[in-house]
Amino acid sequence: MADYSLDYLGQLESEAIHILREAAGQFERPALLFSGGKDSITLVHLALKAFRPGKFPFPLVHIDTGHNFPEALDFRDELAARIGEQLIVRKVEDTIKAKGLTENKGKFASRNALQTYTLLDTIAEFGFDACIGGARRDEEKARAKERIFSIRNEFGQWDPKLQRPELWNIFNGRIHKGENVRVFPISNWTELDIWHYIRREKIDLPSIYFAHEREVLQHQQQLIALSPFIRIDEGDQVQNRRVRYRTVGDMTCTAAVASEAVTIDDIINEITATATSERGETRIDDRVSEAAMEDRKRTGYF
């Protein structure tokens, strides 16, 4: 008899495709939230597998903070053009102006929290009832608790105490008008699973994931790229370092890691040997408090 078994990447892939198709089957107006990072790029790859030769039953939506890496934005535009799918971009900058929002101040002032306003406005503008995202449960302890279909109230808020039980692989996406669902097809993938999958599938990534020379500022053991969005103080030492990005968020709140990894194999070896988690190493926004992610999700964040 033939070998009827799937290796772990095959299992994770099939599970993710199943979830994407459930989102397409259950919602009237879903959207795929695309950031230009490796997780959402993987999600797009999985969507191609789920829906080709048809078109995606949803647009790609990017909430642009205005602090993105230019390499990630270029990659985003190229990818959307190459696969011929609709890309909707909404800018945090515009929300700030229209609503008179107050920006964070400080050395690495982040627009992370303001993103939520633009996201919720975009959901309202297009009437999205589901937003598919590339969050993974291994990233962070609040995410470790979230369902694959995560129901949000009309303010986009997550209530961790009122989550719907999620049985087997049967998903209940029924909602009342105004509510929406966040759908996380790669919930069960780890950072290493993503990299092994990228290697197996030969998925293209923005260049900043690989080692390159960059002017950075060392701040409390983290390397922050020089950009117009951060404040350089007296005494700050700007260095030219060989770095890569382990995650791609805003330039103000994503740190680079010193690295010589130029191939995917190098990256896999580097992550396998590391003693620090992905977000711990690179995200300044999670360091605010013990429950920073839970608190943001409660206010409508992804």
Q: Which stretch binds other proteins (CB under 8 A): 49-57, 96-104, 115-123, 204-212?
A: 49-57
Stretch that binds other proteins, among 28-36, 111-119, 157-165, 212-220 (CB under 8 A): 157-165
Q: Which one, of 245, 243, 219, lies nearest residue 231 by Cα?
A: 219
CA dihedral 52, 54, 57, 59 (to 10 degrees): 80
For residue 247, give the nearest of 255, 239, 258 by alpha carbon. Answer: 255
99 vs 287 by CB, closer to other proteins: 287
Q: Does 285 engage in binding with other proteins (CB under 8 A)?
A: no
Binding string to other proteins for residues 102 to 141, with x set by CB under 8 A, is what?
Answer: -----------------------------------xx-xx
Q: Give the ranges where the chain is alpha helix by DSSP (H).
A: 8-26, 38-51, 70-83, 92-99, 112-126, 191-201, 264-273, 278-282, 292-298
Nearer to other proteins, 165 or 235 (CB): 165
Q: How far is the CB of 58 from other proteins (least distance, A)?
A: 12
Kindly list the strands in the beta sheet with 130-132, ordered across the sheet, starting from the edge strand earlier in the chain: 87-91, 60-64, 30-33, 130-132, 180-183, 149-152
Query: At closest approach, how far in Å is the CB of 95 from other proteins?
Result: 28
CA distance 279 to 47: 25
Residue 10: count of CB within 10 angstroms of its CB? 12
Q: Catalog residues that contact other proteins under the rule CB under 8 A.
A: 1-2, 4-8, 10-11, 13-15, 17-18, 21-22, 24-25, 48-55, 57, 137-138, 140-142, 144-145, 147, 160-161, 163-170, 172, 174-176, 187-188, 190, 192, 274-277, 280-281, 290-291, 294
